[in-house]
Amino acid sequence: MKRVTEPTRKDYIQSIVYILLYILAISVGAYFLLLKYWYIWALVVVVGLALLVNWHKEKTVYSCPICGYVYEISFLVDLTAPHGFDRDGAWLLLRCPNCHERHKTKVLKRTG
Enumerate the domain spans of the chain: 4-110
pLDDT, tens digit (0-9, with 9 covering 90-100), for 5-22: 888 889 889 999 999 999
pLDDT, position 86: 83
Assess whether pLDDT exceeds 80 at residue 104: yes
Assess whether pLDDT exceeds 80 at residue 98: yes
Q: Over the Cα atoms of the chain, what is R_g?
A: 16
CB 55 within 8 A of CB 94: no
pLDDT, position 91: 85
Helical H runs in 9-110?
9-33, 38-59, 75-80
Evaluated on CA atoms 24, 14, 51, 65, the torsion sign reads: negative
Which of the four pLDDT bands, split at 50, 70 and 90, describes residue 42? very high
